[in-house]
Amino acid sequence: MNILEQLGVDCVSIDLVSSEKEAIIEEMVDMLDAAGKIPDRAAALTAILEREKKMSTGMQNGIAIPHGKSDTIEDLVAGLAIHKAGVDFASLDGHDARIFVMTLSPANRTGPHIQFLSETSRLLGDEQTRAKLLAAGSREEVLDILSSA
């Protein structure tokens, strides 16, 4: 799966402002809602927050992948956002998360969700790619970095 097929410039933010986990999630859901990618904002937010309650999606190396499944979603939806200073996301390595990849997928389909998470992990596993993303000056630059990774 190509992550760029799921991301458009309207699904990327390089300047998250929230400083707490739930607020970051809400800010990203609002971004996807404003982009017209989710039909039911409340259902999307609930799905992601409920998943987050089960176990933090803060990974390591400054990455968090908040995600959820909802009956209101027909096809996988994704967003990528950067928080320059970092936010405590209860990450596995104890470090603040700075790169956030959010995905919502249909409740009845697993394949695209797993493929997307796998591709995201591959791309963001590269330290140079992460550094370039954190230094990106525009949403378009983020997409260019991902396309060349």
Kindly report the CA angle at 124 between 109 and 32, in degrees rounded to 5?
Answer: 50
Q: Check 67, 83, 95, 113 and give the catalytic one.
A: 67
Helices 127-135 and 139-148 sit at what angle, rounded to 10 degrees? 160
Distance in angstroms between the alpha carbons of the first and the last residue of the chain: 14
Q: Is residue 13 classed as helix, strand or coil in its secondary structure?
A: strand
Q: Which residues contact 79 (CB under 8 A, 6 or more apart)?
A: 7, 11, 12, 13, 28, 31, 32, 35, 37, 101, 102, 103
95 is known as an active-site residue: no
The tokens for 91 are 């990450």
Q: Is residue 79 classed as helix, strand or coil in its secondary structure?
A: strand
What is the set of active-site residues?
67
